[in-house]
Structures are given as C-alpha cells and as structure tokens.
Amino acid sequence: MRLQKYSGNPIIKPEDFPGSYAIFNPGQAVYDGKILLLVPICHKSGKYCGQENEITAHVATTEDGVNFNIKPEPFFVRDNTVPYSKVSMQCIDFRITQIEDTYYIIHPGCSDQWGTIGILSKTKDFKSLEHIDIISLPDNRMPCLFPEKINGKFVRLDRPYRVCPNDYHEMGNIWLSSSPDMIHWGGHRPLLQPFSYWATTKIGPTPPIKTEAGWLVIIHGVSRSATGHRYSIGAMLLDIDDPLKIIGLTCGDILSPEEPYEFNGIVPNVCFPAGSLAFPEKDEIRIYYGCSDTFIGLATGSLSELIQQCINEMPKKLK
C-alpha cells in the first residue's frame, strides 16, 4: 500500500506565519489529547536572534488534525551558549519521544569545523524546555529514542554518515545503541544500509512506535535522480524484545514526491518524515512530513496494513 496524501495539502505554508519564507520538517507528538507539531519556521528578519534568515521552533496544535494554530512566540530559539558554543544548536529536524510524562526532543547542532551532532532536550508542557547535553559524536543526524527501556536500558536508532568528496551526506546507514541514562551511549551495532531503488545512497529513522507486532519505524530513503537527490518514505519493523532483529521492511516506498508542493521549494524533490503518529483504535498512522523544505503535508494510512506490508515485503537477504 501507499499512504494517502491529504487532498488539502500542504496543510502548513509560509504564508500561515507572517514574515516567514519556509516551514521545515516538523516533530510530532500527542500532548494533552491533541496532535502537536514542533514546527521550525524560517524568518526573513532577525527579530528573534538578531540574524537574518533565522529559524525558530514554534508549537502548533490542532483540534481536527488538519487545521493548526501556530503559537506566535517561539518555544525556543537557537542557543550558542556552553556546551553548544562550538556547535551551534539548531531549531530543526526535531525527533520527539514521549517516555512516561516527559517529552524528549533530539535536535542537531551544526558546525563546519566540528560536524553535526545530536542534542537532547526535554519538556513536560511544551512551554519550558531544558537542554540536557550533547549525546552523539559527529556526524550523527539524528538519533531517535525508543519510548521505553528494552532489557533495562534506553535504546535509540542512530544515523551516522560520511561526507564523500564532491557529494554531500552520502553513505548514511542506521545503527542502534543503548545507554543507562540517555547521556552516555555505547553498544553500537549496525542495523540497516540503503537497500532499494528508492533508498540507494542513505536512509534514516524516526522515533519507533510500539505495536503488538513489533517496533514500527518510519524511515526516509534517498536516491539519485537527474535533478539531484530524491527523498522518499518507507517503513521497517523491529522485534519487540530484540530491536537488532529486523522482521519487516517495505521494499518499495510508501510515499514519494509527486505533487507541485513537493517539487517547488527550497530543496525540491523531497518528502521527509521527522516522526509519525499511530492511532490503533482507528487503525491509522499519520505522518506530518516536510515538503521540499518549504511546506508541511499530511499523509495517512492503515496501521495494520502497513505492518503487514513490512512483513510481506521483508527481503530474503535480511531474514
């Protein structure tokens, strides 16, 4: 199956926030019974940080899953204070994982000299945010936490990559690591490499979703095209007790760039997920995805059908 794009896409556009010129890939969660997006907004002015073309993080909520109210004041802005002074903290690409009553947010720090790292922050109310620490070495973008401990440890999916000469961000694979406290990570193990026509140069994870069949992970895959890199979306299923064991994987993509809003933007030919939301009671999965680094779109599908598709399409070479 392929996910169905909402007929009213894009659901969030730059003109929805006066003074902005682009809306980047949103983090997503369910908070206080409502769908919440953590939206990176690119501003034309330096109103918040004193720099032109600045990016700030804003909370957006919805009653119906489609029409969002974006708070005008930022949830947080870029911070260059210690320990981030050498790797500027970025307000983009949020991976949100709820563990008990706390929402953990991983977002990148970037520097031409020091590379790209993952920064861990947390909130309980999406009003105040506590920055915890840098939790990954470069280049790792972006770690994704599992929503509960496995075998007594916190676990995450990593996406280290190598920057190849004359080609940006190639050879991105998915790894798995564990930690006693979310700060000190080890037990690094390789999990999955680019594997299909829609995911030939790099792949990357989003926060896993616990299901009765296993951990469902929405992933992105990148392939080369005549117009540059093409970003599509797929899924994999991991064993519930041993997430190093892949038990399902979509051979084909479940969402790819096809519409004008996925081509006509800052980075064309892009459908990018930073997370997903599952509603088992409605047998639904929802993905609020980035479109060409300019808009936000919505795609939905059957949760049970997607899980079964992962199982049915599992490549023999990975079994």
Average pLDDT of the segment spanning 199-220:
97
The pTM of this model reads: 0.95
Q: How many CB atoms lie within 10 A of CB 273?
A: 25
Two structure tokens written together for 306: 């997607």
> Tokens 């299901």 sit at which residue?
211
User: Strand pairing partners for 297?
Assistant: 289
Residue 46: pLDDT band with limits 50, 70, 90: low
- Name the 3-class secondary structure at 299: strand
- Scanning the chain, the segments in alpha helix (DSSP H) are 260-263, 303-312
Question: Can you tell me the distance from the alpha carbon of 52 to that of 67, in angstroms, rounded to the nearest whole number?
Answer: 29
Pick the more confident residue, 238 or 228. Answer: 238
Average pLDDT of the segment spanning 139-151:
94
Q: What does the pLDDT read at residue 217?
A: 98
Q: Which residues contact 124 (CB under 8 A, 6 or more apart)?
A: 101, 102, 103
Residue pair 86/63 in contact (Cβ under 8 Å)? The answer is: no
Q: What does the pLDDT read at residue 115?
A: 87
Average pLDDT of the segment spanning 243-264:
97
Q: What does the pLDDT read at residue 90?
A: 87
Q: Strand pairing of 228-238 and 215-225?
A: antiparallel
Residue pair 224/200 in contact (Cβ under 8 Å)? The answer is: yes
Minimum mean pLDDT among 15-24, 45-54, 252-261: which range? Answer: 45-54
Average pLDDT of the segment spanning 198-222:
97
